[in-house]
Chains A and B, each alone.
Chain A
Amino acid sequence: MYTQSFNVPDAPGGKAVAPVPSKEDPALQAAFDTRIDADGRIEPQDWMPDAYRKTLVRQISQHAHSEIVGMLPEGNWISRAPSLKRKAILIAKVQDEGGHGLYLYSAAETLGTSRDQMLEGLHSGRAKYSSIFNYPTLTWADVGVIGWLVDGAAIMNQIPLCRCSYGPYARAMVRVCKEESFHQRQGYEALLVMMTGTAEQKAMVQDAVNRFWWKCLAMFGPPDADSPNSVQGMRWGIKRISNDDLRQKFVDATVPQAKVLGVTLPDPDLKWNEERQHYDYGQIDWNEFWETVNGNGPCNKERLATRVKAHNDGQWVRDAALAHANKQKARSIKEAA
């Protein structure tokens, strides 16, 4: 499961977000604010400001899209998994990502946007998803590193969301987080085993860490200073911890894990800061991040085209199921008559 605390706007146009009109009544607004300030929960039928609804739909659907697109880089290795045990684990893991996407689409649907509308946003290229999935998985070690680092980063992001102000999103996150710790542990354990293997295997692990480390740091989203939407998200209780704080937490947790694993992290500036009681780390390449978010990473076009193809190729199957259900309904009405 992956999220990017994205505060990244979707491209304008289309109807990816179909807000249910709500009258902006000052009394309702005040009641909403009071509940949010008291750390209360908002449920689907409650009055909510349009901006809150829109932001949630964007955030949850981006999160769902990330899960679905995120099936592809790891799915890339299912057919070549080097043992039957790892094959089964990987299928179960990628399947879970599909499940997480489904929970999240369902949560977003409670806000009055259909899954088809959200998919249309993804397929047209307007809706964003986590930048990390636009990088290729070049070796089997990438599967382990995605579990360890990418899922590890995602968990950092998602645990606070279990307490987010929107009930259906928070509940989806609880379910997701329960399943997620398996993902990180299986990845880390796969790498641990490889590090006991041949020199080629160890080199494979180090190479994967080198390629993914900086991308994982960028996953937490732009620095707080460049994230104006973050403040509003925090105010609404749909973002609990700032991008930079989460990133720091991730670095602090990961450095000792890397040591146990026996790999180095590719950052010469990475060192313990006694005064801050945190690890310092080097400069993230935000140009590359934005290029990738905006569609110009190494795999953006392939990922999107693959999702579109699966959806289009499946149209006749979905149509058939619906046509059959309608025929059955018509038959049972006829029989009853």
Chain B
Amino acid sequence: MTTELKEWPLWEIFIRSKQGLEHKHCGSLHAADARQALEMARDVYTRRQEGVSIWVLPSAAITASNPDEKGELFDPAADKIYRHPTFYEIPDEVGHM
């Protein structure tokens, strides 16, 4: 156990705005532990009925992709236009497909 007292850790907050929708990142806050982070997220981020469910995650636990690698990570998808339905021409008489 560390005896050094410092700033409370940072947490990332995800809120489900209504049943059936995904949790979306909405911001962050400081809390001593996960339970407290949940309670504080309720008080800070759902004052106007913004949510029906909350996830909290220590900010330090996030691994993010490197912006320098954006080219190799994401550009190769750009020319795969055949993945999109609009790539294909279908005669009008077929109707919606």
Contact = CB atoms under 8 A, between A and B. Distances in A.
Interface of A: 43, 45-47, 92, 95-96, 99, 102-103, 106, 109, 114-116, 172, 175, 179, 318-319, 321-330
7 A-B pairs closest in CB distance: A321-B32, A325-B33, A325-B32, A330-B1, A106-B28, A116-B7, A319-B5
Given A321-B36, A330-B1, A45 B64 contact: yes
Given A43-B67, A46-B67, A324-B32, A109 B10 contact: yes
Nearest to A315: B5
Contacts of B26: 175
A37 B37 CA distance: 39
Nearest to B66: A45
Determine chain B's interface SS by DSSP, over half rule: loop
Interface in B1-45: 1-2, 5-8, 10, 26-30, 32-33, 36, 44
A272 to B, nearest CB: 39
B14 to A, nearest CB: 14
A114 B67 contact: no
Nearest to A46: B67
B27 A103 contact: yes
Of B2, B8, B27, B44, which is in contact with the most chain A CB atoms at under 10 Å from its CB? B27
Determine chain A's interface SS by DSSP, over half rule: helix
A328 B33 contact: yes
A326 B67 contact: no
B33 A114 contact: no
B80 interface: no
Contacts of A325: 32-33, 36
Contacts of B83: none
B48 interface: yes
A329 to B, nearest CB: 8
24 contacts: A45-B66, A47-B67, A47-B68, A99-B47, A102-B44, A106-B28, A106-B29, A109-B10, A114-B7, A115-B30, A116-B6, A116-B7, A172-B27, A175-B27, A318-B5, A318-B32, A319-B5, A322-B5, A322-B6, A323-B5, A324-B32, A325-B32, A325-B33, A328-B33
Interface of B: 1-2, 5-8, 10, 26-30, 32-33, 36, 44, 47-48, 64, 66-68
A105 to B, nearest CB: 9
Contact of B47 (A47, A95, A323, A329): A95
Nearest to A323: B5
A96 B43 CA distance: 11
Contacts of B2: 326
B67 A327 contact: no
A99 to B, nearest CB: 6
Contacts of A329: 1
Contacts of A47: 67-68
A47 B26 CA distance: 23
Nearest to A116: B7
Contacts of A326: 1-2
A115 B7 contact: yes
Contacts of B27: 103, 106, 172, 175
Contacts of B32: 318, 321-322, 324-325
A58 to B, nearest CB: 20
Nearest to B2: A326
Nearest to B29: A102
A318 B40 CA distance: 14
A109 B5 contact: no
B8 A321 contact: yes
Nearest to B40: A102
